[in-house]
């Protein structure tokens, strides 16, 4: 029996596939490779696990393909998505078709399988909207909530849903469909509402994957554009910690089915955009070049996940500090030829 990973060539997907293959599981990837650069993640997987995974280069918008992909699986990780808010403003119908309809295609395919594979779906903190009602105070480098309880614990799952922007709506619709299929049809399905995940194999660009995007541009000495004043705060979750959370939930999925969890680095692992520039300055020994543009649509000034529900349910905690995680990501980025690394036979990779 096989584990299906949709979006398995992407950042989160490739890391999950690697962990599955290390554990001796059989893996099928469904990915249309539409995200630039993800073919390099597949090459990396192939170098480490040659011939041990199956690739379906296909689109989640095609129900017949999705049915074939789900066939004979025990579990599905569903990561394939249109991931960026700006793209959703230009092409809302494509965004809906991939994120909402694509997820419904998958749910129907799972429902039709006699074995009823379990499912983990990665939703987004965007389902809570811009949180514009949170009273904030602006410090020199970051926004902070005036509510000290919120500052100490983060945003929990009781927060009302408030989809904003086409991408928020399509991810939110999928989130609700997954939960509903657990409740209405008894699927063993769990939703992870992620904020900012970062780490090796993240091929960030301006519209998504900002931590990797900032580091990449700084390494290449290219300017970074900050949208808004740069004081926006997010919690950062290192990829290995996320994969650990997936394993804990998958291991107990019958009990956890039908639940949605906010999953992030939490209040002890937060940065503002300006603070990330400070980290980069210290790591590289030079300040990145920066320009400012107006704030973007549907961009909260403050979002930090409360991880209490997931910790309570599974014992999981994010372990990697921002300093450790950024150092590991920088190490990996430095080894990528597109960031200037040169290869020699004798010496390996030279940054």
Ligand X SMILES: NC(=O)c1ccc[n+]([C@@H]2O[C@H](COP(=O)([O-])OP(=O)(O)OC[C@H]3O[C@@H](n4cnc5c(N)ncnc54)[C@H](O)[C@@H]3O)[C@@H](O)[C@H]2O)c1
Sites of contact with ligand X (CB under 6 A): 7, 9-13, 31-35, 38, 59-61, 79-83, 98, 102, 122, 124, 194, 196-197
**C-alpha separations of 33 from 10, 19, 62, 86, 339 in Å:** 8, 20, 15, 19, 21
At closest approach, how far in Å is the CB of 342 from ligand X? 26
At closest approach, how far in Å is the CB of 121 from ligand X? 8
User: Do 82 and 173 form a contact (C-beta atoms < 8 A)?
Assistant: no
| Residue count of the chain | 351
**Backbone phi and psi for residue 198, each to the nearest 5 degrees, phi listed first:** -145, 160
Residue 10 or 230 with smaller CB distance to ligand X: 10
Contacts of 101 (CB under 8 A, 6+ apart): 61
Contacts of 307 (CB under 8 A, 6+ apart): 154, 262, 263, 264, 266, 316, 317, 318
At closest approach, how far in Å is the CB of 90 from ligand X? 15
Residue 49 or 351 with smaller CB distance to ligand X: 49
Residue 8 or 24 with smaller CB distance to ligand X: 8
User: Cα separation of 70 and 217, whole Å?
Assistant: 38
The first and second tokens of residue 313, run together, are: 């349910």
Residue 61 or 296 with smaller CB distance to ligand X: 61
Nearest-CA neighbor of 124 among 295, 276, 299, 273?
Answer: 299
Nearest-CA neighbor of 16 among 121, 170, 126, 171?
Answer: 121
Residue 61 or 334 with smaller CB distance to ligand X: 61
At closest approach, how far in Å is the CB of 196 from ligand X? 5
At closest approach, how far in Å is the CB of 9 from ligand X? 4
- CB count in 10 Å sphere of residue 50: 8
Residue 98 or 274 with smaller CB distance to ligand X: 98
At closest approach, how far in Å is the CB of 350 from ligand X? 27
Phi-psi region of 256 (alpha: psi -120 to 50; beta: other; left: phi over 0): alpha
At closest approach, how far in Å is the CB of 289 from ligand X? 24
Residue 330 or 351 with smaller CB distance to ligand X: 330
User: Cα separation of 239 and 18, whole Å?
Assistant: 12
At closest approach, how far in Å is the CB of 288 from ligand X? 20
User: Cα separation of 304 and 326, whole Å?
Assistant: 18
Residue 83 or 219 with smaller CB distance to ligand X: 83
Nearest-CA neighbor of 163 among 176, 146, 148?
Answer: 176
- CB count in 10 Å sphere of residue 92: 16
Residue 242 or 256 with smaller CB distance to ligand X: 242
Cβ-proximal residue to ligand X, closest one: 10
């Amino acid at each position: 029996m096989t584990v299906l990973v949709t979006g398995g060539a992407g950042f989160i997907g490739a890391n999950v596939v690697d962990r599955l293959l290390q554990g001796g599981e059989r893996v099928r990837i469904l990915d249309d490779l539409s995200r630039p650069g993800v073919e390099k993640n597949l090459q990396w997987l192939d170098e480490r696990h040659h011939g041990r995974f199956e690739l379906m280069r296909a689109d989640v918008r095609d129900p017949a393909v999705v049915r074939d992909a789900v066939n004979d699986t025990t579990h599905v990780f569903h990561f394939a998505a249109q991931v960026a808010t700006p793209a959703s403003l230009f092409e809302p119908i494509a965004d809906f078709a991939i994120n909402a309809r694509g997820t419904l295609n998958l749910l129907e395919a799972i429902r039709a399988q006699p074995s009823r594979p379990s499912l983990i779906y990665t939703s987004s903190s965007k389902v809570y909207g811009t949180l514009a009602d949170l009273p904030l105070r602006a410090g020199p480098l970051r926004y902070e909530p005036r509510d000290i309880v919120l500052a100490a614990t983060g945003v929990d799952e009781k927060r009302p849903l408030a989809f904003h922007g086409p991408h928020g709506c399509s991810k939110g619709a999928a989130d609700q469909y997954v939960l509903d299929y657990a409740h209405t049809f008894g699927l063993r399905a769990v939703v992870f509402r992620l904020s900012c995940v970062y780490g090796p194999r993240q091929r960030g660009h301006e519209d998504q994957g900002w931590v990797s995007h900032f580091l990449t541009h700084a390494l290449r000495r290219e300017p970074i554009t900050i949208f808004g004043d740069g004081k926006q705060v997010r919690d950062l979750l290192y990829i290995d910690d996320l994969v650990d959370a997936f394993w804990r939930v998958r291991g107990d999925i019958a009990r956890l089915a039908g639940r949605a969890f906010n999953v992030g680095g939490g209040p002890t692992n937060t940065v503002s955009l300006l603070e990330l520039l400070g980290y980069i300055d210290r790591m590289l020994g030079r300040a990145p070049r920066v320009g400012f543009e107006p704030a973007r649509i549907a961009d909260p000034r403050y979002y930090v996940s409360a991880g209490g529900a997931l910790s309570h349910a599974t014992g999981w905690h994010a372990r990697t500090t921002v300093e450790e995680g950024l150092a590991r990501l920088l190490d990996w980025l430095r080894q990528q030829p597109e960031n200037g690394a040169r290869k020699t036979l004798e010496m390996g990779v030279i940054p």
